Amino acid sequence: MTTVEERLAALEDLVRGLRDERDISQLIAAYGPLVDDGDATGVAGLWTEDGGYDVDEMSMSGRTEIEAMVRSDGHQGLIANGCAHFLGPAHVTVDGDTAIATCHSLLVVHRGPRPDEAKPKSRFIVARATAHHFTLVRTADGWRVAQRTSRVLDGRDEAHLLLGNGVRGVR
């Protein structure tokens, strides 16, 4: 026979697990909207103070470098032209105070009318499809990204592997 006390403890465990996954999903779902709004502090605050973000040729370490990327001419130019950093639903695996997550993203950018168009129209193109692998840690302020590794899905093995490892809960 299971006592009320035991049932309550089991339920508390289960609910904490659901809450952890919810928190992590929301953290990742916040990235695209914040980075498209150019909210450098908000974006960097998704990471731990010394968290890392390694994306192809560029590797950032700590919130200051992540903020600088959001404030860079390159990123601000994307925003000024119109862009969507569109992340998919994250697959999340929690293990105590750390977690692994993965998702795809599409960088969709706006292109204005071409000069020679009879009937000018704006259009959107998929500039990049990217694989993301997140290592997350539980901090006093909630879950934060400790390391994010992102690779363009142009056929390089490491990009596809980030996705598979992310689902398999492997770092």
Torsion, Cα 17 130 45 166, to 10 degrees, reads 30
**C-beta closer to a second copy: residue 58 or 125:** 125
CA 135, chain centre distance (Å): 11
- Rounded to whole angstroms, the Cα distance separating 148 from 100 reads 10
What does the DSSP assignment read for 44-106? HTTEEEEEEEEETTEEEESHHHHHHHHHSHHHHHHHHH-EEEEE-PPEEEEETTEEEEEEEEE
Under rule CB under 8 A, residue 87 binds a second copy: yes
Q: Could you say which of 58, 123, 142, 171 contacts a second copy (CB under 8 A)?
A: 123
Q: Could you say which of 129, 139, 142, 171 contacts a second copy (CB under 8 A)?
A: 129
User: Position 134: which residue type?
Assistant: F
Size of the site for a second copy (CB under 8 A): 67
Under rule CB under 8 A, residue 12 binds a second copy: yes
User: Position 127: which residue type?
Assistant: A
**C-beta closer to a second copy: residue 68 or 107:** 107
Q: Could you say which of 68, 69, 106, 146 contacts a second copy (CB under 8 A)?
A: 106
**Residue 79 · residue 38 · CB < 8 Å:** yes
The H-or-E segment that residue 117 falls in is: none
User: Position 112: which residue type?
Assistant: G
Interacting span for a second copy (CB under 8 A) from 38-46, 48-56, 57-65, 136-144: 38-46
**Contacting a second copy within 135-164 (CB under 8 A):** 152-156, 159-161, 163-164
User: Position 78: which residue type?
Assistant: L
| Residues found near a second copy in the complex (CB under 8 A) | 4-5, 7-8, 11-12, 14-15, 18-19, 21-22, 25-26, 29-30, 32-34, 36-39, 42, 79-84, 86-92, 102-104, 106, 108, 110, 112, 122-129, 131, 152-156, 159-161, 163-168
